[in-house]
Chains A and B, each alone.
Chain A
Amino acid sequence: MTAMVTVDDALTRYEPVIGLEVHVELGTVSKMFCGCPTTFGGEPNTQVCPVCLGLPGSLPVVNRAAIESTIRMGLALNCDIAEWCRFARKNYFYPDMPKDYQISQYDEPLCTDGYLDVTVPLADGGSEVVRVGIERVHMEEDTGKLTHTGGATGRIHGADYSLVDYNRAGIPLVEIVTKPVTGTGGLAPAVARAYVAALRDIMRSLGVSDVRMEEGSLRCDANVSLAPPGQPWGTRTETKNVNSLRSVERAVTFEIRRQAGVLDAGGHIVQETRHFHEDDGTTTPGRSKEEAEDYRYFPEPDLLPVAPDPAWVDELRTTLPELPAARRARLQEQWGISDFDMDSLINAGAVELVEATVAAGADQGAARKWWMGELSRAAKDRGVELAELGVTPADVARIADLVGQGTLNDKLARLVFEGVAAGEGSPDEVVAARGLELVSDDTALLAALDDAIAANEDAVAKIRDGKVQAAGAIIGAVMKATRGQADAARVRELLLERLGE
């Protein structure tokens, strides 16, 4: 294998061009072409009917909600909505595809030629807005799920046979394809990540998909090519199934480094699909393409053209919510925070979380403090997104409230977060179960204080001499005796009262 080079080194000689194809499962109640439920996690092959099983004789009928969701996606991405378009059949044999063709859209997508402005975090803590062109947004159907059995690894390679569950087959997918993104230089991996994050946020705010990446409801293919500045674009590779924000960034980074190494050594890039490996962040070649794919697309004869009435499109336009970029500007104004603080929130993926926490009753300062501090650290430690930590904005609001009331101090609050994230229940349940409430009963405190005074005669003498800083030793002893659940300020008050008697 050719030596890898660093990204910074690669960028001194090559300009990357990236392109992203994102598939998202729409959150409709029923599948794209039949009435089967789309819920995740059902018993295998219990959410199937003649249509999504592709039984002989069955016919598809288009789900109106899927069309509406796609048009709304297209509008949110500033696309043109086709006045007339058709579905097409993409023909290829594979056992996860019940009909051995996929109903998709080919040369007549529903939405075309849009863009999305993406805020990309910079290393200095600031940010830059990059406009990513949208080539097309189209509809298609998902495939079934294969499980590989036998062999050592449970992977496709070396398996004895495979098992197919068609519950996922026919779930509506929307595919969003970017135009080639050029001129971003070293930002390319970050642009890729920020774009996917922005798409995800838009989907969520439109309510067209809940985008559970951990359930595979958003899947990304990343195209990368390199060329010396001013030269025509190079040969690209397509890295398939990159399924988290972090992986998108890593996969693009890896391909830039790998391709630069190949080109430096005088080699040429093979046009191929590549697989991304989560464990080490590398990509490896997929199927060799000695025989070019021939999908034999043709207009799907079982479905009629889709010709959205302009009035319908206008009506859908009125249903668009405030999109993430606009909302962020409004929130920054509302909260009165600096560009730097806002960028930090955006980069951490915390804007919506803080907003929801404020909506749940917390002060914006407290909400930001917890999400950007304790919780960001915990997310980083576990390698997950903030939103995937298992702590909800309502939890944060409640804990902030408990701190405000004096029921918790910051140290105890951290333990409550830990308990909530570990699935021990609501903040109140964790406080009760772990016995984390501050001791506010003066009788109990005074008993501990008297013990401490008796045990620290030296310190008591110093305090009486006016060396008040010696109080720390006694307060510390009280805190220790109460396992940290005393309010230190109150202990200090009581100590001074006692000694002043």
Chain B
Amino acid sequence: MSDITRDEVAHLARLARLDLPEEDLTHYAEQLDVILDAVAAVSQVAADDIPATSHPVPMANVFRDDVNRGCLDRDEVLSQAPAAEDGRFQVPRILDDEEPS
């Protein structure tokens, strides 16, 4: 089922925004392979009619009232930013091909 390749790891690293050197890609490919082998049995355990559980304690309909609560102090928030300007967070330039669709 697994046999994860170096290229797949490179793709995953890009999806996950991890800039990994070449040797790490190979290393992770091997390790992920071992782990996926160990967990692969999971995909054969449950029959189709078994429902999936996304929340461990079954509850529903938890809402809050539509009222305002306090906001944070902007100076305190921006004091934690790697870079800020004019009351805003400063971020590196966004290249054309990075825009979400």
A residues near B, CB below 8 A? 28-30, 34-37, 43-50, 53, 61-67, 84, 86, 92-95, 146-150, 156-157, 159-166, 238, 240, 273, 286-289, 293-294, 296, 299, 301, 303-309
Contact call A35/B97, Cβ cutoff below 8 A:
no
The CA-CA distance from A305 to B96 in the complex, in Å, is 37
Instruction: Report whether over half of chain A's contact residues are helix, strand or loop; otherwise say mixed.
Output: loop
Does B100 sit at the interface, judged by CB under 8 A? yes
Q: Which residues of A contact B65 (CB under 8 A)?
A: 64-65
The yes or no answer to B19 lying at the interface (CB within 8 A) is no
A67 and B63 form a contact (CB under 8 A): yes
Could you give, for residues 68-101 of chain B, a 1 whenever the CB lies within 8 Å of some chain A CB and a 0 otherwise? 1111101001100000011111111110111111
Hey, which chain A residues are within 8 Å of B100, CB to CB? 92, 94
Closest chain-B Cβ to A359's Cβ sits at a distance in Å of 29
Query: What is the minimal beta-carbon distance from B70 to any residue of chain A, in angstroms?
Result: 7
Smallest Cβ distance from A64 to chain B, in angstroms?
A: 4
Tell me the number of A-to-B contacts counted with CB atoms below 8 Å.
Answer: 142
Contact with A along B53-71 (1 / 0, CB 8 A): 0110001111111111111
Residue of A61, A147, A238, A287 contacting most chain B CB atoms (<10 Å): A287
With A159-B94, A286-B99, A293-B101 as contacts: A62 and B64 at CB distance below 8 Å: yes
A49–B68 CB distance below 8 A: no
Indicate which residue in B55, B85, B93 contacts A301 across the interface (CB closer than 8 Å). B55
A97 to B88: give the CA distance in the assembly, Å.
14
Among B64, B68, B72, B99, point to the contact of A48 (Cβ < 8 A).
B72
Residue from B59, B62, B63, B78 having most chain A Cβ neighbours under 10 A: B63
A161 in contact with B88 (CB, 8 Å)? no
Q: Is the interface of B mostly helix, strand, loop or mixed?
A: loop
**Please, which residues of chain B bring their CB within 8 A of the CB of A149?**
85
CB contacts (< 8 Å) of A288 on chain B: these are 97
Question: Considering only CB atoms, which chain A residue lies closest to B15 in the complex?
Answer: A294
State whether A306 and B64 are in contact (beta carbons under 8 Å apart), knowing that A163-B86, A164-B89 are contacts in the complex: no
> Closest Cβ of chain A: how far from B62's Cβ, in Å?
5
Q: Return 21 A-B CB contacts under 8 Å, by A number.
A: A34-B69, A35-B69, A45-B77, A46-B71, A47-B71, A48-B74, A48-B77, A49-B72, A66-B66, A86-B54, A147-B88, A156-B94, A161-B91, A161-B93, A162-B93, A164-B88, A166-B89, A299-B54, A299-B55, A306-B61, A309-B61
A159 to B94 alpha-carbon distance, docked (Å) = 8
Residue of B nearest to A26 (CB): B66
User: Which chain A positions have C-beta within 8 A of B55?
Assistant: 299, 301, 304-305
Minimal beta-carbon separation of B53 from chain A (angstroms): 10
- 4 nearest A-B residue pairs (beta carbon): A35-B69, A65-B66, A64-B63, A163-B88
Closest CB-CB distance, A288 to chain B, in whole Å?
7
CB pair B61 A307 closer than 8 Å? yes
> For residue A44, which residue of chain B has the nearest CB?
B87
Would A35 and B88 count as touching, CB distance under 8 A?
no
When distances are taken between beta carbons in the complex, the residues of chain A under 8 Å from B69 are 30, 34-36, 49
- Nearest residue (CB) in A for B57 is A304
A166 to B74, CA, bound (A): 11
Shortest Cβ gap from B15 to chain A (Å): 6
User: B55, B59, B88: which has the most chain A beta carbons within 10 Å?
Assistant: B88
Chain B residues near A94: list those with CB within 8 A. 98-100
Judge whether B89 and A45 touch: CB under 8 Å: yes
CB pair B66 A28 closer than 8 Å: yes
For the complex formed, measure the closest distance between the CB of B63 and the CB atoms of chain A, giving whole angstroms: 4
**A29 touching B68 in the complex, CB below 8 Å, given contacts A163-B86, A273-B101:** yes
